Every structure is written in structure tokens, then in C-alpha cells.
Amino acid sequence: MTRASTPAAVTGAGAAFARAREEGRAALVGYLPAGFPDVEGGVAALRTMVEAGCDVIEVGLPYSDPVMDGPTIQAAAQQALEQGVRTADVLRTVEAVAATGTPTVVMTYWNPVERYGVDRFAADLASAGGAGLITPDLTPDFAPEWIAAADARGLDKVFLVSPSSTAERVAMTTAACRGFVYATAVMGVTGARATTSDLAGPLVERTRATTELPVGVGLGVGTGDQAAEVASYADGVIVGSAFVRTLLDHAGDRSAGLAALAALTEDLAEGVRRA
């Protein structure tokens, strides 16, 4: 498929990907769960990531049964839950980060959205300035209520494709996406890894054959060199566990944690530009 230029009317996360493409680089997408290390500390951390070079922010909604997350993100989410973080705190975090002008999406398991109320969640997310949702455990064929609620408000719908997805499944998934497509190129739970996956490039190629949407890759990137490698074939590099680990490693010194977070973000941002 010939990839058309991105129309000027693109909004949400897609606009950040379009700007990055105009600069001849991949976008850097950064993740932290809301309420970690606490609500205000999480907002400060996410704003630090924006200032240091993240193009899109993912705000995680902490959940008690995070079956797709590795131990690092599980530990951060558990800390947030133990401190009483609620969906209202997630939306408050989104509002604070989105106020910077950076597209801000929520990454969430589906159960909390159902409990909150799908249409209510979509309305409150839009009111907070959020760009949309990434739904790792919800597939388009089981998402009619979310798709309708998102379409009514122009919210991004980011579904996942993986190396095990069939060609038909990839096409069905990308057809339902808006904003970007999330290619999870590691089989198993999330987490930073020493090397990137040789499954990622072929998955991006298969995904691009079905859509003109940008494709972001999440596979455990934790260094600028790894970011550069992924940015050589993907439209976006998605980083989560490395950011969380940085804050966990500086749990006793918030200012040092923010400084380390800024340094990591700058290294990753340089990596996506180097490619």
C-alpha cells in the first residue's frame, strides 16, 4: 500500500505522529501509571517526560489484575492502588498532562471502564482533554459500545496487534483503530529487555500493508540505542517499563528521580531522531 500524506485535520495522537513524520523521525510515546509514585508526583513525572522529549503520553489506569504487565509495571500500579488512586485521579492526571498540549491517551484494561460506565468514561475523558484509549485486552469485535462512544467524541481507538495475529485479524484491528496502531512485538508480558525483538519489523510491515495509520511498537525498549533501532522501521517507539523502573530506583529521592527520568527521556528522544 502506498502511504498517503497525513491530512491536516488529523487530531489526537495522530497529530503528534504526523509532526514527527514531517521531521523525518519516529515519535516517542511514554507511559506511566497514574498515581505513581503518588498522584501529584505522577503528574510531575509525566510533565518532565513531555519537557524532555515525549511526543505522546500514555497514562496507565492502575488495575488489580494486570495480567499483561510485567513485574515492574505491576509494582508501580500496586503502589498506586494501595495509596487509593481512583479513576477520578486518572482523569485528573490526564487533564494536567493534556494541558501541556501533548496528546494524552489512557492505557487501561477493560474491566475498570465497564465498571465506570463506557459512555460516561468516554465523556469524562474527552472533557479532561484526553485523546483516547489504548485497550490491550479489548479487541474490536468485542468493542461496539466503546467504538460508538469514542466515535461520538472523536477519541482515538488504539487496539493491539501481535506477532501471532493472522492477516485477517490485523486487517480487522487496524480498520477499527484511530490515532495509531499499537504493535506489541514481544510475546508475553511487558518489561524492559536487553535486546529488541526480531519479530517487530515483520509485524510492522504486515500492519502497514493494511492501513495508513502510524504504527507504534512496544517491546521493552530502555535505551536510546534500542529506540533508534525500533525507530528505523516503526512510526513510534513506545516505552513504559524503563520509565517506571527509573522512578522505582529513586524512590527515596523525588528530585533525583525526576532528573534521572529527564535524562532517560532525552536519551530515548535522541535515539528516535538518530534513526
Contact 211, 3 (CB under 8 A): no
Given 38, 51, 69, 205, the catalytic residue = 69
N-to-C CA span, the chain: 23
**Using CB atoms within 10 A of its CB, is residue 266 exposed (0-12), middle (13-18) or buried (19+)?**
middle
C-alpha cell recorded at residue 93: 492526571
E strand residue ranges, 137-265: 156-158, 160-161, 181-184, 215-218, 236-239
The number of angstroms, rounded, from the C-alpha of 113 to the middle of its chain's C-alpha atoms is 17
Tell me which amino acid residue 272 is.
Answer: V
Instruction: Look at strands 215-218 and 132-134 and give their pairing.
Output: unpaired
Active site residue 253: no
Active site residue 141: no
User: What DSSP letter does each residue of 119-153 carry, written as one string?
Assistant: HHHHHHHHHTT--EEE-TT--GGG-HHHHHHHHHH
Contact 202, 196 (CB under 8 A): no
Given 38, 40, 58, 235, the catalytic residue = 58
CA angle 239, 31, 115 (to 5 degrees): 135
Instruction: Look at strands 27-33 and 236-239 and give their pairing.
Output: parallel
Contact 231, 275 (CB under 8 A): yes
Torsion of CA 258, 259, 264, 266, to 10 degrees: 110
The residues annotated with a catalytic role in the active site are 58, 69
